[in-house]
């Protein structure tokens, strides 16, 4: 019998040939005036990995206001849509499936990216982090508190980005509501001190995410929308856990389970050891599998054996791999043939050339399973 992670999976109206998912990863290869993906680099990179059950692209900004890192692609201009069309066509021609991750970094940015204007955030609280700009690492600043008008504009930017994603030929989208970025900043009490309908209670702090989700599902099928969360993110970008952190994610995920029919939710196990951190959960898949009736994708720290186990145990339906997919374009083939995985080179994670991007070698036939 085939390994659990290599078995097909039906996700809404999409059939995935296996459960090995390519996780979204910022790779900083959109080094051009338009911040657009290129045929030479991006299309080649994703097509090399098209045997994944599903590819989720790197985060793509929904607007210039959402930018926080150099050379990251967007999905808000015609040049960017044209660039992504080349990516999706190449991946589909290789019989792959591909979602795009929609991204707004909120306060994890710098005035450099916004013509001197302050980044936007739920509250004017400096995350105390460093951001990589063309001039090197810079300290973050105190952001500008989003007005209700800013929030409406941002919501419409996500809607437009979702429409652009469909025009560009993507099979679906993932809302980046994780890792300390904009939506996560609304969820967390150390980054959201608002006193209006978007702050205070758990329901209020989750409200903006659900408003954006509701607006997006008006323009595209609900079962082609995914969302990513990191419930045990601790001490990242100035956000800490407290007694309401897990109840907040319990509320969000239970509401998604009862009121929505998403493609999936994508959860991260803790990035660091949180076994002695108050209010942290060390086993995210186990906590949320009973709370979520739809497709549950899990990420962080998985290898072939751990992936097979989490699926066999029934704690997740799909497993996403990040660094393993950087250095093993034929990851599915290696799992199938039990070929050892190749190591990645961290020095080329965020460089701008083909080195460490499209020059990792496939060691297996890397065939799509029919």
C-alpha 174/C-alpha 294 separation (Å) is 15
Q: Cβ distance 121 to 191 under 8 Å?
A: yes
Q: What is the pairing mode between strands 318-321 and 20-22? A: parallel
DSSP 199: S
DSSP 12: T
Q: Is 338 helix (H, G, I), strand (E, B) or coil?
A: coil
- What is the Cα gyration radius of the chain? 19
Q: How many CA atoms lie within 13 A of 12 on its CB side?
A: 16
Crossing angle of helices 202-216/245-259, nearest 10°? 40
Catalytic residue, candidates 45, 181, 325, 360: 181
181 is annotated as an active-site residue:
yes
Query: How far does the chain reach from its first CA to its final CA, in angstroms?
Result: 16
Closest CA to 322 of 11, 40, 56: 56
C-alpha 79/C-alpha 60 separation (Å) is 13
71, 75, 121 from 128: Cα distances, Å? 22, 28, 14
C-beta neighbour count of 7 within 10 angstroms: 16
Catalytic residue ranges: 181
């Amino acid at each position: 019998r085939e390994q659990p992670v290599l078995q097909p999976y039906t996700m809404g109206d999409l059939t995935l040939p296996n459960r090995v998912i390519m996780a979204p990863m910022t790779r900083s290869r959109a080094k051009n005036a338009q911040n657009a993906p290129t045929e030479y680099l991006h299309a080649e990179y994703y097509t090399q990995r098209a045997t994944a059950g599903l590819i989720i692209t790197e985060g793509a900004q929904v607007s210039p206001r959402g930018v926080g890192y150099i050379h990251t692609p967007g999905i808000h201009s015609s040049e960017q849509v044209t660039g992504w069309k080349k990516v999706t066509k190449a991946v589909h021609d290789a019989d792959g499936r591909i979602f795009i991750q929609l991204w707004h970094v909120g306060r994890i940015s710098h005035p450099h990216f916004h013509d001197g204007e302050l980044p936007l955030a739920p509250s004017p609280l400096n995350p105390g982090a460093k951001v990589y700009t063309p001039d090197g690492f810079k300290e973050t600043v105190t952001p500008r508190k989003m007005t209700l008008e800013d929030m409406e504009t941002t919501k419409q930017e996500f809607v437009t980005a979702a429409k652009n994603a469909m025009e560009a030929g993507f099979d679906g989208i993932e809302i980046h509501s994780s890792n300390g970025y904009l939506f996560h900043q609304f969820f967390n009490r150390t980054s959201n001190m608002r006193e209006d309908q978007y702050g205070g209670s758990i329901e209020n702090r989750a409200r903006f995410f659900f408003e954006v989700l509701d607006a997006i599902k008006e323009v595209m099928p609900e079962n082609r929308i995914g969302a990513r969360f990191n419930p045990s993110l601790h001490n990242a970008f100035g956000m800490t856990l407290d007694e309401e952190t897990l109840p907040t994610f319990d509320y969000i995920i239970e509401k998604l389970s009862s009121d929505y029919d998403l493609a999936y939710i994508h959860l991260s196990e803790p990035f660091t050891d949180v076994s002695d951190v108050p209010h942290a959960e060390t086993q995210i898949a186990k906590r949320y599998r009973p709370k979520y009736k739809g497709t549950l994708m899990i990420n962080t720290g998985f290898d072939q054996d751990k992936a097979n186990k989490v699926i066999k145990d029934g704690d997740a339906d799909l497993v996403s791999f990040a660094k393993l997919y950087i250095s093993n374009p034929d990851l599915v083939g290696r799992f199938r043939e039990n070929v050892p995985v190749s190591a990645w080179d961290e020095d080329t994670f965020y460089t701008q050339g083909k080195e460490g991007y499209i020059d990792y070698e496939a060691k297996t036939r890397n065939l799509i399973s029919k």
